[in-house]
Amino acid sequence: MAPRYFTLAEANAALEELRPLAEQMVERRRELVDAQARRAALGAQVGTNGGDLTPSDFADADDELERAASSLARCVEQIQAAGVLVKDLDQGLLDFPSLREGEEVLLCWHVGEDEIRYWHGVEEGFAGRKPI
């Protein structure tokens, strides 16, 4: 399937729907990292002597991890279904494929920005962002 190309106006309009999803994605990523840390702490506690851990502690931690990962995956899938590339889960960094003077580029946005104000070449990445 050929990539969808966005004009700047189309990409900014798409942000109306995608901004809340990107914000949720960032929050779900934080939840996943926290759940991973709690699960690792349980594993470390077992290494010391286990303390007062029960088997349900691990089951609960594993369930929490699964829920967080699934919720994060749903956010990413919805964003990608719109033809937008998810580049960074922690920042909520999204790239919108676009054409500039006949060349494929990426319109770049992340959570916290009001609108799309930057672009970069396909091979440049975030560090190569240029003002529109």
Q: Quick one: average pLDDT of 91-104?
A: 96
Q: pLDDT tens digit string along 39-96?
A: 888 877 776 665 677 778 888 888 999 999 999 999 999 999 999 999 999 999 999 9
Domain ranges of the chain: 8-131
Closest CA to 17 of 71, 94, 69: 94
pLDDT-wise least confident of 8-12, 31-35, 39-43, 51-55:
51-55
The torsion angles phi and psi of 8, rounded to 5 degrees, stand at: -60, -45
End-to-end CA separation in angstroms for the chain: 28
The answer to whether the beta carbons of residues 63 and 42 sit under 8 Å apart is no
User: Which of 71-87 are b and which e, b meaning 16 or more Cβ less than 10 Å from the residue's Cβ?
Assistant: bbeebbebbeeebbebb
Residue 38 confidence (pLDDT) = 87
Q: Is 67 exposed, middle or buried (0-12, 13-18, 19+ CB in 10 A)?
A: middle
With 80 as the cut, is the pLDDT of residue 119 above it? yes
Q: Containing H/E element for 44?
A: helix 8-48
Q: What is the pTM of this model?
A: 0.87
